[in-house]
Amino acid sequence: VRAGSEIDVVTTQTHDAQYLYEDGTSYHFMDNETFDQIALLMEDFRDTMMWMKENDMVVLLTDDNGQVLSVEIPNFVTLEVVEASVALRGDTSGKVMKTVKIENGAEISVPDFVKEGDIIRIDTRSGEYVERA
């Protein structure tokens, strides 16, 4: 920004919302205060929403025109492991890790002792396994 340049001021608001569902092209939310339903294109929010499941709570950041600027999700989520294979034990120098599928369809690397049906805690900022819940 140069001296003397004008800066547009944007007023933002946060709205508590519930993630309802996705339909293949959009994520659908309900504003908890007004009960309005909001659809956001999946391509714009896929990286953020990959850790969420239906009925999870989020915060929508909007500008003064009601345009959603971002979706804020919790730092940690708890999800069920729905598919787990046996880890490959080729590297015994460190932790033995394997990839599992969680209930929202995402895949994550976890320690070998995690099995199908376990509930795990994930750090949404890094996408890493934290612990069994």
What is the fold of 76-132? OB fold (Dihydrolipoamide Acetyltransferase, E2P) (2.40.50)
Q: What is the mean pLDDT of residues 98-115?
A: 94
**Residue spans per domain, the chain:** 12-72, 76-132
How much is the pTM?
Answer: 0.80
Mean pLDDT calculated for residue range 83-111: 83
Residue in 47, 46, 14, 11 with CA at minimum distance from that of residue 32: 14
Given this structure, which CATH class describes domain 12-72? mainly beta
Sign of the Cα pseudo-torsion (120, 122, 127, 130, in order): negative
Mean pLDDT across the stretch 77-105?
Answer: 84
Match 């309005």 to its residue by tokens: 36
Asked if domains 12-72 and 76-132 share a fold, the reply is yes
φ, ψ (nearest 5 deg) of residue 48 = -75, -45
Q: Which residues pair with 12 in a beta bridge?
A: 63
Residue 89 above 80 pLDDT?
Answer: no
CB atoms near residue 59 (< 10 Å): 14
What are 1-56's pLDDT values in tens digits?
678 888 888 899 999 999 999 999 999 999 999 999 999 999 999 999 999 999 99
